[in-house]
């Protein structure tokens, strides 16, 4: 279990993480989601004791990372920027890490086998492809058979087969009762792997929710596509209600704020012919974008924002 | 966290076929592996060994070949000990660069984060790097220095200017030269830890040991002469000369000062390693 309490991190003037509080539970896969530069990697470095927080506390299984007697058994981590000397072979890299804890060579060979790097284990890491480097990072993270696994962007550079592999691996680790915490800036990847989501934007917590809840919330923001030979008349009618309307092409509108049934009734009253009425589910990616986008831009000017879209709708 | 929140599987602790923990001894083994598993180490050390063992012998051979051309003064002041060990000037460069790389190489590649995640108390990593690198340097350079000394002396028999290890200053100079190089290696590990960038740390090392003496040289002589003995290069170098120069500190006194400089840098390095974000 990872416990982040009121953590802030400033680098000079720049606030990378701003009063962040969340917990990561064992037994499930927790996704750590946010746009690039949101502070995901910084938060992970704070958890791993690499950077010291400006304020707040971070505990892993109730203990500060720096106080662990055997950190590789407690936490296995892979950071986005590969923390590997490129001049060393994969085997020697893992061996050197294992030796700090007196972990036997047989375990080094075991994790090399597990991530499928046996054929290249004696080659210098500098010659590795992105995907092989990623697998080596996973091997290093699993070296100590840790109770908590932290991976920064594990799917980066992996081919579809590799992504499938890591997804199953992470789910398996969680099923064994481990704490699994992985970051990504891709919502679609998370939706298939994670059970729970921590979403941050600009260093602040935006959402701490189950994936199911997130998906449910995402689909409630339904858009409706309406095709009508009298599209411009329909738009004029709809704009009078509190509705956001966009003209996609002549005769085709997209709007949000009303259900398909409500639109049907409005159209009937106005005697407007409708040839298509399709509810559009916002994709998870869009839901994520709107969620994080709000945190970045909309908070200060929510009123103006509504006005603008109405004007755009009317002008179109 | 209440028990109901915990999935059943989490209740059972993970059963491992192996358990370990971080000890200074374990970290030493790890640093030994790290040192020898890099090509740059093997090349730098090979260069240092060849320079240390070979250059003195080469100088001796050239001196013997040109003996008849030397002035009577040169012949009278010919220092057979210093000539045989002269390779250290070159070997020291390789040792210093490697000392910097031992830690700056980890910063430039990001490896330092893996190292510090495995050893979050951090200082054991620094001590282990120094212990491993200093002992490897000492052993290799001592062996090379003996090869250089005996090889050169064998050649110097041609004109009967050879000395034996029993000569009053011979053993002190030989071991002193090796100690000077070893401490230089440690000083460079400290510089690499403080500066973190390979280029910056090597430039500082070269500046301290090779450029600073040149600058002091062009100062007005009364100022220059009062500063010169306390420069790292003069203080450390005193022990590597059979007959001390007039204006330098005594061999062991100078060496003690050089060790003092190194300890100060090491303390700064240790403080920064622990306090700074990795």
Q: DSSP characters for A183-248?
A: EES-HHHHHHH-SEEEEEETTEEEEEEEHHHHHHHHHHS-EEEEE-TTHHHHHHHHHHSS-EEEEE
Residues A10-58 have pLDDT tens digits of: 998 899 999 999 999 999 999 999 888 899 999 999 999 999 999 999 9
CB A10 within 8 A of CB A56: no
Cβ contact B21–A69 (<8 Å): yes
CB B187 within 8 A of CB B265: yes
- Whether B14 contacts chain A with CB within 8 A: yes
Cβ contact A102–B23 (<8 Å): yes
**Average pLDDT, whole number, for chain A?**
86
- Whether A127 contacts chain B with CB within 8 A: no
Of A100 and A240, which is predicted with more confidence? A100
Lowest-confidence pick of A17-26, A155-164, B23-32:
A155-164
Does A285 score more than 80 pLDDT? Answer: no
Question: What band does B188 get if pLDDT is binned at 50, 70 and 90?
Answer: very high
Of A158 and B38, which is predicted with more confidence? B38
pTM of the model: 0.85
Does B2 score more than 80 pLDDT? Answer: no
- Whether A114 contacts chain B with CB within 8 A: no
Residue of A nearest to B10 (CA): A177
The winner for highest mean pLDDT among A206-210, B126-130, B160-164 is B126-130
Q: Give the domain ranges of chain A.
A: 2-209, 218-315
- A82: distance to nearest CA of chain B, Å? 6
Question: What band does B117 get if pLDDT is binned at 50, 70 and 90?
Answer: very high
- Whether A92 contacts chain B with CB within 8 A: yes
Strands A148-152, A75-78: pairing is: parallel
- Going from the C-alpha of B273 to that of each of A70, B26, B122, B276, the distances in angstroms are 20, 20, 7, 6
Cβ contact B33–A99 (<8 Å): yes
Residue of A nearest to B24 (CA): A100
Secondary structure of residue B127 in the 3-state scheme: helix
Question: What band does A215 get if pLDDT is binned at 50, 70 and 90?
Answer: confident
d(CA B43, CA B46): 5
Strands A252-256, A223-227: pairing is: antiparallel
Residues A94-143 have pLDDT tens digits of: 999 999 999 999 999 999 999 999 999 999 999 999 899 999 999 999 99
Residue of A nearest to B32 (CA): A96
CB B272 within 8 A of CB B197: no
Least CB-CB distance to A84: which of B18, B38, B109? B109
- B3: distance to nearest CA of chain A, Å? 12
- Going from the C-alpha of B270 to that of each of A151, B198, B266, the distances in angstroms are 29, 18, 6
Q: What are phi and psi of A306, to 5 degrees?
A: -60, -45
- Whether B3 contacts chain A with CB within 8 A: no
d(CA A21, CA A39): 13
- Going from the C-alpha of A111 to that of each of A118, A120, A173, B32, the distances in angstroms are 9, 13, 14, 22
Q: Give the domain ranges of chain B.
A: 23-275
Q: Which of residues 24-53 of A touch B (CB under 8 A)?
A: 25-28, 45, 48-52
Residues B252-268 have pLDDT tens digits of: 999 999 999 999 999 99
d(CA A306, CA B10): 47
d(CA A161, CA A154): 13
Specify the CATH number of the domain A2-209: 3.40.50.300
Task: List, in sequence order, the alpha helices (H) in chain B.
Answer: 8-11, 24-36, 39-65, 72-76, 80-85, 88-109, 111-118, 123-156, 170-195, 198-206, 212-217, 221-227, 232-237, 251-275
Residue of A nearest to B41 (CA): A87
Nearest to A121 by CA among A104, A107, A109: A109
CB B156 within 8 A of CB B64: yes
- Whether B34 contacts chain A with CB within 8 A: yes
CB B187 within 8 A of CB B95: no
d(CA A273, CA A228): 6
Give domain A218-315's CATH number out of 3.30.70.100, 3.40.50.300, 3.90.79.10, 3.20.10.10: 3.30.70.100
ipTM for this prediction: 0.90
Residues in chain A: 316
- A122: distance to nearest CA of chain B, Å? 11
Does A194 score more than 70 pLDDT? Answer: yes
Q: Which of residues 72-111 of B touch A (CB under 8 A)?
A: 105-106, 109-111
Question: What band does A3 get if pLDDT is binned at 50, 70 and 90?
Answer: very high
d(CA B57, CA B247): 29
């Amino acid at each position: 279990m990872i416990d982040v309490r009121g953590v802030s991190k400033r680098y000079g003037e720049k606030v990378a993480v701003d009063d962040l509080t969340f917990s990561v539970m064992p037994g499930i896969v927790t996704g750590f989601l946010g746009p690039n530069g949101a502070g995901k990697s910084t938060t992970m470095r704070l958890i791993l004791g690499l950077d010291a927080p400006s304020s707040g506390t971070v505990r892993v299984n109730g203990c500060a990372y720096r106080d662990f007697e055997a950190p590789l058994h407690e936490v296995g981590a892979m950071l986005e920027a590969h923390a590997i000397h490129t001049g060393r072979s994969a085997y020697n890299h893992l061996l050197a890490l294992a030796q700090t804890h007196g972990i036997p060579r047989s375990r080094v060979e075991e994790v090399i086998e597990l991530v499928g790097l046996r054929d290249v284990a004696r080659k210098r890491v500098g010659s590795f492809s992105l995907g092989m480097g990623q697998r080596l990072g996973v091997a290093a993270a699993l070296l100590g058979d840790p109770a908590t696994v932290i991976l920064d962007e594990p799917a980066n550079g992996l081919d579809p087969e590799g992504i499938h592999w890591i997804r199953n691996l992470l789910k398996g680790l969680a099923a064994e009762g481990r704490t699994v915490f992985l970051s990504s800036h891709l919502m679609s990847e998370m939706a298939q792997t994670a059970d729970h989501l921590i979403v941050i934007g600009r260093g602040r917590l935006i959402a701490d929710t189950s994936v199911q809840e997130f998906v449910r919330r995402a689909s409630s923001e339904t858009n409706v596509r309406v095709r009508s030979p009298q599209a411009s008349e329909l738009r004029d009618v709809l704009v009078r209600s509190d509705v956001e309307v966009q003209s996609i092409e002549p005769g085709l509108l997209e709007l949000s704020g009303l259900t398909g049934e409500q639109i049907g009734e409005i159209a009937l009253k106005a005697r407007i012919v409708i040839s298509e009425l399709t509810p559009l589910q916002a994709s998870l990616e869009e839901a994520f974008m709107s969620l994080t986008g709000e945190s970045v831009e909309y908070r200060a000017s929510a009123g103006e924002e509504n006005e603008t879209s109405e004007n755009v709708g009317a002008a179109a | 966290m209440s028990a109901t929140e915990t999935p059943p599987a989490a209740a059972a602790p993970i059963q491992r076929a192996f358990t370990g923990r971080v000890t200074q001894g374990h970290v030493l083994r790890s640093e030994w592996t790290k040192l020898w598993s890099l090509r740059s180490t093997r090349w730098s050390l090979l260069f240092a060994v060849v320079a240390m063992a070979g250059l003195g012998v080469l100088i001796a051979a050239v001196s013997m070949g040109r003996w008849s051309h030397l002035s009577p003064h040169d012949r009278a002041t010919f220092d057979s000990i210093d000539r045989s060990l002269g390779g250290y000037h070159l070997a020291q460069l390789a040792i210093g660069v490697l000392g910097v790389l031992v830690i700056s190489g980890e910063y430039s590649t990001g490896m330092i984060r893996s190292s510090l995640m495995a050893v979050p108390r951090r200082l054991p990593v620094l001590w282990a790097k120094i212990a491993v690198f200093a002992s490897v340097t000492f052993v290799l350079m001592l062996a090379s220095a003996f090869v250089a000394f005996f090889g050169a002396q064998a050649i110097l028999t041609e004109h009967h200017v050879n000395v034996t290890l029993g000569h009053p200053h011979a053993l002190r100079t030989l071991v002193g030269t090796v100690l000077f190089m070893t401490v230089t290696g440690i000083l460079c590990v400290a510089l690499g830890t403080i500066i973190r960038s390979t280029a910056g740390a090597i430039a500082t090392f070269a500046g301290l040991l090779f450029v600073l003496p040149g600058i002091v040289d062009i100062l007005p002589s009364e100022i220059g002469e009062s500063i010169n003995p306390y420069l790292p290069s003069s203080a450390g170098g005193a022990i590597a000369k059979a007959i001390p120069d007039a204006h330098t500190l005594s061999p062991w006194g100078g060496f003690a000062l050089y060790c003092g400089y190194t300890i100060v840098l090491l303390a700064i390095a240790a403080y920064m390693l622990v306090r700074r974000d990795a």
